[in-house]
Chains A and B, each alone.
Chain A
Amino acid sequence: MELSRETVEHVADLAKLSLADEEIATYQAQLSAILEHFERLQDLETEQIPPTATVLPLRSVTRADEVESCIEREEALKNAPDTEDGCFKVPPVLEQA
């Protein structure tokens, strides 16, 4: 199964990855080869087979709703590339009027 360049660009867009032209070409070829290899899955009849998302017995995990200590704001911001007034700072989302 051959992926088109447009599909590769669309997937990169969904994944929010900026890719160089050569990367798009490489991934187009490699992902096509990988998916081709995976076609064998379609040989299996799985209509009646339930999917497995986790191997554990499904259960809800709860705990008492009690206030516990958590990391300090300063600590939480320590690894951030940019901060201001105790907040994470990012480039503008909207253009300025």
Chain B
Amino acid sequence: MNPDRPEQLTIHEASQRLADGELTAEALTEAVLNRIAAVDGEVKAYLTLRPERALEAAQAADQARAEGSAGDLLGIPLAVKDVLCTKEMVTTAGSRILEGFVPPYDATVVTRLKEAGAVIPGKTNTDEFAMGSSTENSAYFTTRNPWDLSRVPGGSSGGSAAAVAAGECLAALGSDTGGSVRQPASLCGVVGLKPTYGRVSRYGLIAFASSLDQVGVLAKDVRDAAIMLGAVAGHDPRDGTSMDLPVPDYTTALTGDVRNVRVGVPEEYFTDGLQPAVERAVRAAVETLADLGAEVQMVSLPHTDYALPVYYLIAPAEASANLARYDGVRYGVRSESESLEDMYRRTRGEGFGSEVKRRIMLGTYALSAGYYDAYYLKAQKVRTLIKADFDAAFDEVDVLVGPTSPTTAFRIGERTEDPLQMYLSDVFTLSMNLAGTCGLSLPCGFDEQGLPIGMQVMGPAFGEGVALRVAHAYEQATEWHTRNPAL
């Protein structure tokens, strides 16, 4: 690596240099802030920046290290998606309705990063309330893909993915309700991990769909993803759905050895809509795993075709309930009116963007009298079948491997007119949220236009270790993750 470019380091590289006294947290943070100053005018990954506060945190980290503290994240600059509450730092969820909102508390994952000594330069852009696949639904601006500024970075955690890809942070937090960490990771050529539902606390994550939401991490390589997961995972008394299970040291899973690991390839993930370059790259990646000694077999997830409608009924239904809280009373923006009822309607009508209103409408309809059984209940029943597909598959194999997204990064504006077309961006990722399993996307090639391709390694519930192990072994055998955008 170029010694003048410490922002290009991974967490594990930087942390080694910090421990060896070859680098200070202050110099590392300055390098990241300089990189942001140089490229973020074009990439537009950050919604909010707090450079002075970041430098103070870096100095505090250096001081703590001088006094004997240590740790993988001590003094490491990490970005946080703007759907996670940060005390005394504006948190908007990409929405006008929360413009200027300053949370009185930190999300548990943010507390954990701060306690580990991480430096947080700012908050990253997102589709409004994490509803979208491109950041084009952000009420503020669209983030651009560092590999091609005319294209989207994916979404909804597109700001975090672009920031990692462009060297504007070493790693980042995102959230994944239907693919919002994995799909932007795929489109930006970085690693994106969605943990098992219940693995990471959701306290302080602005709720979108509570049975599907999970905080995830975006990183430059698999080892960094393992480090980040270890830092944020674990039980939290403030989140009743966080499971009280021990958190392993995920880096010990990175043995480089996948001999006799059973890898399943779901036949339903290789459909007509798949971009040929994506199919070639993922099939070649499966070959690589076989060459490394993995036992590869085809498997079937027969209800894959139904995952999209199930997801787009359940997630909007839950969202329509969760977003009822934005009523112009306790926080956020109010549209003034003479009566309370009219104030609610105008606040919500004017404060929410078009995709959020579309999903509230869809969810409200699916839950409304006369349609509940046909849509919401039906979707919950088919969710049972989708989960059963995964349970059956994981009886036979240790991990599943397939494409993360059917295409590489698409052009800004290309899918904004047709919501269904945009929803199809998540067709391979949303099943995992419905089934409550875990997995990650990692780079596995580039298409003819030089755009990154992502492969998804899916593990069973609480099987992050085996998914990371397979992803890491593949990464060690290839060099895709070492490429950087020419920005």
**A interface residues with partner B (beta carbon < 8 Å):** 3, 7-8, 10-12, 14-20, 23, 26-27, 30-31, 33-35, 37-38, 40-42, 44, 46, 49-56, 61, 63, 71, 75-76, 78-82, 88, 90-93
Contact = CB atoms under 8 A, between A and B. Distances in A.
Contacts of B383: 51-52
Interface in B312-331: 312-313, 320, 324, 327-331
10 contacts: A35-B365, A35-B375, A38-B375, A40-B306, A46-B381, A49-B382, A53-B380, A55-B461, A76-B104, A80-B329
B312 A11 contact: no
Q: Is the interface of A mostly helix, strand, loop or mixed?
A: loop
B354 A23 contact: yes
Contacts of B327: 16
B267 interface: no
Given A15-B348, A53-B380, A55-B435, 12 more contacts: A17-B349, A18-B345, A18-B350, A34-B362, A40-B306, A40-B309, A52-B387, A55-B461, A71-B104, A76-B104, A79-B104, A93-B339
B240 A44 contact: no
A91 B330 contact: no
Interface residues of B, number: 72
Nearest to A44: B382
Interface in B436-471: 436, 461
Contact of A15 (B308, B364, B385): B364
Interface of B: 100-102, 104-105, 197-198, 211, 237, 240-241, 243, 303, 305-306, 308-310, 312-313, 320, 324, 327-334, 336-346, 348-350, 352, 354, 357-358, 360-362, 364-365, 368, 374-375, 377-385, 387, 419-420, 434-436, 461
Contact of B382 (A15, A34, A41): A41
A79 B461 contact: no
Contacts of B104: 71, 75-76, 78-79
A16 B345 contact: yes
